[in-house]
């Protein structure tokens, strides 16, 4: 263990420099879990394929409300995994693939320094990829694209790349290029290494998964590996690609303007290690974070972190909540007293833990770039900052994502008024739902907004099982929500269509909910000067 101040700083610098914290995003079924699993295999964090999924089902045993996950066979919450590879300490933020839980996914992206976007080669960009990409683009974090399932019939690679550029408005640089696909998949050509990574021939009915490197100019060996037809086709495609595509530019990669693209097959473990190695070379150690008008460097010796996710009831017996913190600077030490900025008081972060592969471990130290989960006795909200006493750090909050489904939720039993209010408030604090009030009504009736319908099921399940409360729910046809930006506008005086509703959030800010875009257009047309905004940045 380092002792002197100097030793501690040197140790900290080294530790931070080798950290890589990234999220894996994809539309469900594109292969995110399979790719994550292969990464973990390379890191030696798991021994066999299938362990990630297997363990995920074990986890249900300790998290009762995740019954819903079990019933629907989807992963609702995101987890964080840490493992070592080639001297790097890697934190993967796994995100739930199901579209209904996109809000949680969005927040997770706030804690990542880069993102790996997995795309199914047969499908290209899908709706969930689109949504997630937008959030990454908003933060200008580097995005690395892995086009998966090349062992199956896939779309034309030029088409896929063109789609990425046109839809996302970014440049792409294909680090490797596929040679065929499906039954005719021969491997990939590594452009800057001028060599082929060949996909093994069918061997006793099974494909070999290891690659064979070969220089593209070695015609004889190339023909032996992929055949002369595939070689000739590859040479003409590479000529086309070299002529038409963007040049590689690491600065552009690092500020999210150029996405390195890799082709491969996660299931066959083909191109995965090469991807991981190249990705680790290109991506950055932990990034700086904005606090007020200054940038906090991760190497700043003072510990700072923000809460990006709160997860309730991991253990029903204790009804506890875990707050997940992204460490932005310095070193965390277990047992030290820190300062909770929003509460304005000291805080001990108890039971600090990290996920090592699938095991939770109590940890003594952690560094900028790491994610720690701490026991939350109900004091934290999403976006809160924790730092050293005396530091004035407040990280720019985590945006609230606009709900797309709304319902009026009303208590049935007036004897359980307190539990109802506590339940909806706490669940809203965790960020699983958003609650709004219609002016003039109290806590017995709230408008609940969610990003995905499934969150209504989670709400009902948790209200009954944790708070012993049942309620009436009436779905609303509304789908859009906007903040009223003008301070001087009294919403009661606005000319609105009959179906438009005026609500207020927990901080008393005015919002309007709309059934469709035409209602927004109508409101803007009839109320000159009215300014409506979609996102609200929490502070």
Instruction: Work out how close the CB of 519 gets to ligand G4P at its nearest, in angstroms, rounded to a whole number.
Output: 36
Residue 526 and residue 520: Cα distance in Å, rounded?
10
Q: Which helix (H) or strand (E) holds 238?
A: helix 228-244
- Decide: helix, strand or coil at residue 58: helix
Instruction: Work out how close the CB of 267 gets to ligand G4P at its nearest, in angstroms, rounded to a whole number.
Output: 3
- Decide: helix, strand or coil at residue 61: helix
Instruction: Work out how close the CB of 60 gets to ligand G4P at its nearest, in angstroms, rounded to a whole number.
Output: 17
Minimum CB distance to ligand G4P smaller for 151 or for 505: 151
- Residue 439, CA atoms < 13 Å, CB-side half-sphere: 12
Minimum CB distance to ligand G4P smaller for 26 or for 385: 26
Residue 443 and residue 232: Cα distance in Å, rounded?
71
Minimum CB distance to ligand G4P smaller for 263 or for 338: 263
Residue 25 and residue 33: Cα distance in Å, rounded?
10
Minimum CB distance to ligand G4P smaller for 155 or for 252: 155
Instruction: Work out how close the CB of 151 gets to ligand G4P at its nearest, in angstroms, rounded to a whole number.
Output: 5
Minimum CB distance to ligand G4P smaller for 80 or for 503: 80
Residue 445 and residue 412: Cα distance in Å, rounded?
10
Minimum CB distance to ligand G4P smaller for 28 or for 378: 28
Q: Which residue pairs from 231-237 have beta carbons closer than 8 angstroms and sit at least 24 positions apart in sequence?
A: 233/179, 234/177, 234/179, 234/189, 237/157, 237/158, 237/177
Q: Which residue has the tokens 């299931």?
A: 267
Minimum CB distance to ligand G4P smaller for 266 or for 287: 266
Instruction: Work out how close the CB of 97 gets to ligand G4P at its nearest, in angstroms, rounded to a whole number.
Output: 4
Minimum CB distance to ligand G4P smaller for 149 or for 462: 149
Residue 270 and residue 210: Cα distance in Å, rounded?
7
Contacts with ligand G4P by CB under 6 A lie at 26, 28-34, 97, 148-149, 151-152, 265-268
Residue 462 and residue 301: Cα distance in Å, rounded?
41
DSSP state of 444: T
Minimum CB distance to ligand G4P smaller for 78 or for 500: 78
Instruction: Work out how close the CB of 33 gets to ligand G4P at its nearest, in angstroms, rounded to a whole number.
Output: 3
Instruction: Work out how close the CB of 78 gets to ligand G4P at its nearest, in angstroms, rounded to a whole number.
Output: 12
Instruction: Work out how close the CB of 492 gets to ligand G4P at its nearest, in angstroms, rounded to a whole number.
Output: 47
* Residue among 341, 318, 315, 322 at smallest CA distance from 430: 322
Minimum CB distance to ligand G4P smaller for 91 or for 128: 128
Minimum CB distance to ligand G4P smaller for 256 or for 264: 264
Residue 148 and residue 120: Cα distance in Å, rounded?
5
- Residue 191, CA atoms < 13 Å, CB-side half-sphere: 22
Instruction: Work out how close the CB of 450 gets to ligand G4P at its nearest, in angstroms, rounded to a whole number.
Output: 21
* Residue among 114, 72, 75 at smallest CA distance from 93: 114
Q: Give phi and psi for 369, each to the nearest 5.
A: 105, -25
Report the DSSP pairing between strands 304-312 and 385-387: antiparallel
Instruction: Work out how close the CB of 75 gets to ligand G4P at its nearest, in angstroms, rounded to a whole number.
Output: 8
- DSSP strands (E only) in 27-104: 80-85, 88-94
* Residue among 19, 16, 2 at smallest CA distance from 298: 16
Residue 448 and residue 481: Cα distance in Å, rounded?
12
Q: Which residue has the tokens 């913190």?
A: 325
Structural tokens at position 455: 């969150």
Structural tokens at position 472: 């009436």
């Amino acid at each position: 263990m380092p002792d002197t101040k100097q030793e501690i700083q040197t140790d900290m610098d080294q530790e931070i420099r080798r950290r890589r914290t990234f999220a894996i995003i994809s539309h469900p079924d594109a292969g995110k879990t399979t790719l994550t699993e292969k990464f973990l295999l390379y890191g030696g964090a798991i021994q066999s394929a299938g362990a990630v999924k297997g363990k995920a089902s074990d986890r249900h045993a300790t998290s009762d409300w995740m019954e819903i996950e079990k019933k629907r066979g989807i992963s609702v919450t995101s987890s964080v995994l840490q493992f070592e590879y080639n001297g790097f300490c890697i934190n993967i933020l796994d995100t739930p693939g199901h579209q209904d839980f996109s809000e949680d996914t969005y927040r997770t992206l706030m804690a990542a320094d880069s993102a790996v976007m997995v795309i199914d080669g047969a499908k290209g960009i899908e709706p969930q990829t689109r949504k997630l990409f937008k959030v990454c683009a908003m933060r200008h974090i580097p995005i690395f694209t892995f086009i998966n399932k090349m062992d199956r019939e896939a779309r034309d690679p030029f088409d896929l790349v063109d789609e990425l550029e046109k839809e996302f408005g970014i440049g792409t640089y294909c680090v490797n290029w596929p040679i065929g696909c499906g039954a005719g998949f021969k491997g990939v050509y590594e452009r800057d290494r001028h060599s082929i990574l060949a996909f093994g021939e069918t061997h006793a009915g099974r494909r070999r998964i290891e690659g064979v490197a070969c220089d593209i100019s070695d015609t004889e060996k190339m023909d032996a590996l992929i055949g002369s037809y595939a070689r000739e086709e590859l040479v003409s495609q590479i000529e086309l690609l070299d002529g038409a595509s963007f040049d590689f530019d690491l600065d552009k990669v690092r500020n999210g303007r150029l996405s390195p693209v890799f082709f491969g097959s996660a299931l066959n473990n083909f191109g995965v290690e090469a991807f991981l190695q190249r990705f680790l070379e290109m991506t950055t150690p932990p990034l700086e974070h904005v606090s007020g008008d200054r940038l906090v460097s991760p190497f700043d010796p003072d510990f700072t972190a923000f809460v990006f996710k709160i997860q309730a009831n991991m253990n029903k017996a204790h009804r506890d909540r875990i707050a997940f913190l992204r460490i932005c600077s310095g070193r965390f030490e277990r047992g030290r007293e820190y300062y909770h900025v929003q509460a304005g008081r000291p805080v001990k972060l108890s039971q600090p833990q990290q996920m090592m592969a699938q095991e939770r471990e109590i940890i003594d130290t952690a560094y900028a770039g790491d994610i720690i989960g701490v026991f939350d006795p109900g004091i934290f909200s999403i976006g809160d900052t924790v730092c050293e006493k005396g530091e004035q750090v407040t990280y720019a909050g985590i945006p609230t994502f606009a709900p797309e489904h709304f319902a009026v939720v009303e208590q049935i039993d007036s004897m359980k008024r307190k539990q109802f209010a506590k339940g909806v408030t706490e669940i809203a604090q965790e960020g699983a739902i958003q609650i709004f009030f219609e002016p003039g009504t109290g806590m017995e009736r709230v408008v609940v907004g969610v990003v995905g319908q499934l969150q209504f099921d989670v709400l009902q399940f948790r209200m009954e099982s944790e708070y012993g409360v049942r309620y009436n729910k009436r779905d609303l046809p509304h789908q859009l929500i906007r903040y009223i930006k003008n301070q001087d506008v009294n919403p009661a005086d606005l000319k609105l269509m009959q179906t438009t509703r005026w609500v207020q959030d927990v901080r008393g800010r005015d919002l309007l909910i709309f059934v469709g875009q035409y209602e927004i257009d109508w409101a803007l047309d009839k109320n000159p000067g009215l300014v409506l905004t979609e996102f609200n940045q929490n502070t």
